């Protein structure tokens, strides 16, 4: 491509709405253009990078034995009603009606459609297992579309769905996809980490997320310094050390004037924080059931774990007004000495290990001391609902650390959730009807492209990994009026093109400094500068990532570039 003919419009100023590097740089380098909130056009440079990510994904999915299909964006409501998700997904779905007033949705994901595709055609265990995938536009009416391609309302996803006759077969494909995802993200040149993820009500080791590591990442991931354990903070677990067990003492109500925060309780009553229990009041937003959630004073409630423990779709803390309505005294709520009525109690499992703990007195400015689970109160549900703290011990003993990540992919064992709801069955070896088992596997293709920039940039612009760079080389004649320089630049440009290297020739009549700035912003991994020594047949090869400059003889440029392409 010749720069002079290309449709590339770089910007000097950073558009105000952009907060993170990838968003700023995608706009500044003229790779994307916003149409409306969370909706973008991919301009030539952006589209080229996107296609490279797509092609890596496609190559590795094909290699893994999956088969590409292409499903409709427009999906009838009936399918979603059948699976039960028409209501559950609620406002996240972009819904519309046709002229006959029939309801439709623009697909936010394709479990329903793919299950419908296979349910009438796959009849026997002999046709299984099967893994079908597509690379396609998804629509999600996100509450806060932001950060450019990171969280769009229209974005591109690779979604794959597998169907199985046995658990072992599903497990095998899950492992196959995990290995495939590792190859995909490595091929994209990214530093990433697979972590255990929330698998909702399914539980177990049913889901993994793939996080591209970057400080601006929206997710917190927890990892062990001495073993392989890594998990999204939403599901991470740790080992808790308890205070030594004591003989049970008699409960006493004590005055704690203006002392409601745990730190203050600890200080005022001179008790170790390991012997305190706090009560948080939550509501299941679906059923309206209220829960008193008990947790050791030095831990926080992990709402994802709580949701799973009470089987809720969403939970929220009660407001002061709601607390008052229930006759609860904010700051002094506890499980002892209270008539709970319809309120259910959820206790974090560590609470059961604490002897003689403090708890709210259920009257203003009071606490109980020496309260004991079992003797003084009981919970309806006991589960691990705590948020892991950095510095906690891993189950295997190492210290837990945290890092920020961008969730670029997720793999999931769905089991028979959709096949049951949508009656996708097959006949097993004994001629018996069975529900298929399913897995699903997503990669945010556009998000991965943004994450690559988030991980690879500096104050001058993008530093594309070679494998997904829109163009790998920018050939720049320093002085466009110098015939020798121009003809050598043209020659190198043609040679690289002949070798199938994606190359740009910056043939614009601009100062070299101006062209270098654009080149750095756009993020070509390598620049070939044809300057003063052109007449001796010497050119400069500049490496974007390291800032190094190599003097190379013109006859060796192609070989040098090919060698460098293997390294970056």
- Mapped onto helix, strand or coil, the DSSP state of residue 366 is strand
Selected from 444, 461, 470, 477, the binder of ligand ATP by CB under 6 A is 444
> How far apart are the C-alpha atoms of 553 and 550, rounded to whole Å?
10
In whole angstroms, how close is the CB of 142 to ligand ATP at the nearest point? 5
Stretch of 29-37, 128-136, 152-160, 329-337 contacting ligand ATP, by CB under 6 A: 152-160
HEC profile of 450-464: HHHHHHCEECCEECC
Q: Which residues pair with 403 in a beta bridge?
A: 221
Task: Tell me, residue by residue from 155 to 184, as one string, x for binding to ligand ATP by CB under 6 A and - for no binding.
Answer: x-x---------------------------
Is residue 199 involved in binding Mg ion (CB under 5 A)?
no
Stretch of 115-123, 268-276, 403-411, 418-426 contacting Mg ion, by CB under 5 A: 403-411
Neighbours of 435 (CB within 10 A): 17
Selected from 110, 151, 275, 357, the binder of ligand ATP by CB under 6 A is 151
> How far apart are the C-alpha atoms of 410 and 440, rounded to whole Å?
8
- Binding partner of residue 542 among ligand ATP, Mg ion, none, CB under 5 to 8 Å per kind? none
Of the two residues 103 and 218, which places its CB atom closer to ligand ATP in the complex? Answer: 218
In whole angstroms, how close is the CB of 133 to ligand ATP at the nearest point? 12
Selected from 231, 408, 463, 521, the binder of ligand ATP by CB under 6 A is 408
HEC profile of 324-353: HHCCCCCCCCCCCCCCCCCCEEEEEHHHHH
Q: Which one, of 291, 16, 499, 184, lies nearest residue 24 by Cα?
A: 16
> How far apart are the C-alpha atoms of 425 and 486, rounded to whole Å?
67
Selected from 162, 410, 446, 448, the binder of Mg ion by CB under 5 A is 410
- Binding partner of residue 140 among ligand ATP, Mg ion, none, CB under 5 to 8 Å per kind? ligand ATP
In whole angstroms, how close is the CB of 407 to Mg ion at the nearest point? 6
Of the two residues 356 and 410, which places its CB atom closer to ligand ATP in the complex? Answer: 410
Asked if residues 122 and 114 have their Cβ atoms less than 8 Å apart, the reply is: no
Selected from 103, 141, 142, 428, the binder of ligand ATP by CB under 6 A is 142
> How far apart are the C-alpha atoms of 489 and 484, rounded to whole Å?
9
Is residue 304 involved in binding Mg ion (CB under 5 A)?
no
> How far apart are the C-alpha atoms of 188 and 174, rounded to whole Å?
21
Q: How far is CA 474 from CA 173, 480, 482, in A?
A: 42, 15, 18
Task: Tell me, residue by residue from 88 to 127, as one string, x for binding to ligand ATP by CB under 6 A and - for no binding.
Answer: ---------------------x------------------
Is residue 405 involved in binding ligand ATP (CB under 6 A)?
no
Is residue 187 involved in binding Mg ion (CB under 5 A)?
no
In whole angstroms, how close is the CB of 267 to ligand ATP at the nearest point? 39
In whole angstroms, how close is the CB of 410 to Mg ion at the nearest point? 4
Q: Which one, of 41, 42, 39, 36, lies nearest residue 154 by Cα?
A: 39
Is residue 419 involved in binding Mg ion (CB under 5 A)?
no
Q: Which one, of 180, 53, 181, lies nearest residue 468 by Cα?
A: 53
User: Residues binding Mg ion: what is the number (CB under 5 A)?
Assistant: 1
Helices (H) and strands (E) in the chain, counts: 14, 31
Residue ranges with strand state E in 513-557: 526-530, 538-543, 549-553
Binding site for Mg ion (CB under 5 A): 410
Instruction: Report the interface residues with ligand ATP, using CB under 6 A.
Output: 109, 140, 142, 151-152, 155, 157, 407-410, 442, 444, 446-447
């Amino acid at each position: 491509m010749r720069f002079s003919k290309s449709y590339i419009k770089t910007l000097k100023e950073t558009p105000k709405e952009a907060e993170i590097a990838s968003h700023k740089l995608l706009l500044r380098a003229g790779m994307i253009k916003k149409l409306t909130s969370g909706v973008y056009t991919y301009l030539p440079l952006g589209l080229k990078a996107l296609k490279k990510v797509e092609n890596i994904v496609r190559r590795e999915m094909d290699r893994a034995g999956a088969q590409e299909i292409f499903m409709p964006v427009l999906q009838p409501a009936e399918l979603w009603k059948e699976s039960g998700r028409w209501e559950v997904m609620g406002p996240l779905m972009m819904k519309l009606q046709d002229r006959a007033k029939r309801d439709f949705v623009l697909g936010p994901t394709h479990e329903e459609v793919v299950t419908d595709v296979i349910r009438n055609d796959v009849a026997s265990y002999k046709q299984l297992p099967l893994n079908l995938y597509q690379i396609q536009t998804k629509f999600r009416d996100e509450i806060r579309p932001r950060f450019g391609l990171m969280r769009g309302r229209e974005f591109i996803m690779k979604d794959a769905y597998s169907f199985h006759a046995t658990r072992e077969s599903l497990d095998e494909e899950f492992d196959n996809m995990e290995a495939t995802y590792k190859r995909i993200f490595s091929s994209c040149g990214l530093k990433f980490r697979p972590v255990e993820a929330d698998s909702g009500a399914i539980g177990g080791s049913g889901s993994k997320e793939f996080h591209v590591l970057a400080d601006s990442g929206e997710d917190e991931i927890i990892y062990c310094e001495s073993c392989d354990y890594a998990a999204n903070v939403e599901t991470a677990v740790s080992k808790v050390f308890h205070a030594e067990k004591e003989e049970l003492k008699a409960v006493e109500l004590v005055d704690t004037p203006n002392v409601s925060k745990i730190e203050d309780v600890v200080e005022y009553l001179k008790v170790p924080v390991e012997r305190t229990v706090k009560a948080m009041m939550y509501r299941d937003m679906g059923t309206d059931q209220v829960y008193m959630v008990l947790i050791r004073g030095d831990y926080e409630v992990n709402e994802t774990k709580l949701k799973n423990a009470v089987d809720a779709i969403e939970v929220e803390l009660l407001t002061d007004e709601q607390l008052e309505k229930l006759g609860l005294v904010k700051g002094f709520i506890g499980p002892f000495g209270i008539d709970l009525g319809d309120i259910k109690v959820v206790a974090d499992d560590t609470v059961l290990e604490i002897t003689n703990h403090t708890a709210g007195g259920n009257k203003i400015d009071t606490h109980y001391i020496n309260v004991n689970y079992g003797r003084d109160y009981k919970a309806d549900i006991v589960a691990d609902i705590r948020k892991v703290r950095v510095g906690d011990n891993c189950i295997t003993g190492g210290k837990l650390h945290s890092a920020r990540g961008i969730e670029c992919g997720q793999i999931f064992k769905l089991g028979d959730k959709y096949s049951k709801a949508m009656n996708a069955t097959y006949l097993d070896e004994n001629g018996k009807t069975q529900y298929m088992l399913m897995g699903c596997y997503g990669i945010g293709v556009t998000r991965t492209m943004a994450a690559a920039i988030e991980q690879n940039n500096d104050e001058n612009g993008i530093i594309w990994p070679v494998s997904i760079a829109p163009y790998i080389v920018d050939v720049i004649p320093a002085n466009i009026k110098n015939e020798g320089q121009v003809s050598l630049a043209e020659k190198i440009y043609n040679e690289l093109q002949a070798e199938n290297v994606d190359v740009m020739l910056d043939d614009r009549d601009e100062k070299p400094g101006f062209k270098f700035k654009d080149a750095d912003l756009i993020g070509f991994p390598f620049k070939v500068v044809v300057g003063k020594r052109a007449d001796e047949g010497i050119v400069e090869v500049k490496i974007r990532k390291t800032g190094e400059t190599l003097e190379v003889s013109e006859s060796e440029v192609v070989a040098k570039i090919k060698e460098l392409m293997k390294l970056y």
